[in-house]
């Protein structure tokens, strides 16, 4: 029986994963459609090098599609996918650390462009006035900047918690730490961000 696009859109993620593991391309296509913005947003908040974010997002989706048949429990898909994302993030950081930094005359312009890469702010809410949208974008820029200034061991767990909605147990598994450490780091990250953003919120 053939299923229409609308039917796939109504399916749960677990249902889609199960179908995709049975070589259902339409189900895989729907998974990619749902997850690509989340992956992109995660890299945007984690990574200071925006030039790599698009490529990293595509690579994460490609690895997900190739490895999906090996996933034993469809219920763990989100956590499993974020493990792929984090492996790519750390691999890219290691590569960047081996490359000498360069200075470009376009650095200032690139810094401004960094503020528009979050897919959640590229499409303004029609109910918002232009000024409100500008303020929203400005706050998003500040949040991104402050998040990127956090140490990795603070930034990674809070992004996985607040952006991806993972449980403390799932984050502990991804970061190879225990739940107590995860909770402590997220609390300290929130405290730092609150101090940094107090003049904006």
Q: Please report whether residue 33 resides in a domain.
A: yes
CA 168/CA 121 separation, integer angstroms: 27
Q: Yes or no: say if 148 and 50 are a contact pair by the CB < 8 Å rule.
A: no
What is the count of structural domains for the chain?
1
Q: Which domain holds residue 5?
A: 1-102
Percentage of the chain exceeding pLDDT 90: 53
Give the contacts of 34 (CB within 8 A, at least 6 positions apart): 13
State the DSSP string of 30-88.
HHHHHHHHHHHHHHHHH-S-GGGHHHHHHHHHHHHHHHGGG-S-GGGHHHHHHHHHHHH
Per-residue model confidence as pLDDT tens digits over 114-170: 454 343 433 334 444 443 444 456 777 778 888 888 999 999 999 999 888 899 999
The answer as to whether 4 is a domain residue is yes
Cβ within 8 Å of residue 105, ≥6 positions away: none
Q: Which two tokens stand for residue 63?
A: 């690895």
Q: Which residues contact 65 (CB under 8 A, 6 or more apart)?
A: 28, 32
Distance CA 179, CA 184 (A): 9
Residue 10 lies in a domain: yes
In a domain? residue 21? yes
Exposed, middle or buried by CB within 10 Å (0-12, 13-18, 19+), for 105? exposed
Determine, yes or no, domain membership for 89.
yes
Classify residue 2: in a domain, yes or no: yes
Could you tell me which of 37, 33, 30 has the C-alpha nearest to residue 15? 30
Q: What is the CATH number for 14?
A: 1.10.1740.10
For residue 94, what pLDDT is reported?
A: 83
Confidence of residue 47 (pLDDT cuts 50, 70, 90): confident
Whether residue 66 is contained in a domain is answered as yes
Reported as a single tens digit per residue, the pLDDT across 93-127 is: 888 765 444 333 333 334 444 454 343 433 334 44
Residue 26 in this model has a pLDDT that exceeds 90? yes
Residue 57 is assigned to a structural domain of this protein: yes
């Amino acid at each position: 029986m053939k299923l229409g696009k609308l039917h796939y859109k109504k399916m749960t993620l677990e249902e889609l994963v199960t179908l995709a593991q049975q070589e259902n391309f339409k189900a895989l296509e729907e998974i990619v459609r749902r997850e690509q913005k989340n992956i992109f947003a995660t890299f945007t908040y984690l990574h200071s090098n925006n030039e790599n974010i698009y490529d990293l997002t595509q690579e994460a989706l490609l690895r997900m599609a190739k490895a999906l048949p090996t996933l034993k429990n469809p219920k763990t898909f989100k956590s499993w996918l974020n493990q792929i994302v984090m492996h790519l993030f750390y691999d890219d950081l290691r590569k960047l650390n081996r490359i000498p930094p360069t200075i470009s005359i376009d650095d200032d312009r690139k810094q401004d462009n960094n503020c528009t890469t979050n897919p959640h702010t590229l499409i303004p809410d029609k109910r918002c006035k232009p000024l409100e949208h500008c303020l929203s974008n400005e706050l998003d820029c500040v949040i991104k900047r402050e998040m990127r200034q956090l140490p990795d061991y603070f930034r990674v767990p809070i992004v996985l918690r607040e952006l991806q909605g993972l449980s403390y147990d799932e984050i502990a598994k991804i970061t190879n730490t225990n739940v107590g450490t995860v909770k402590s780091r997220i609390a300290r990250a929130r405290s730092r961000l609150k101090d940094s953003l107090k003049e904006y919120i």
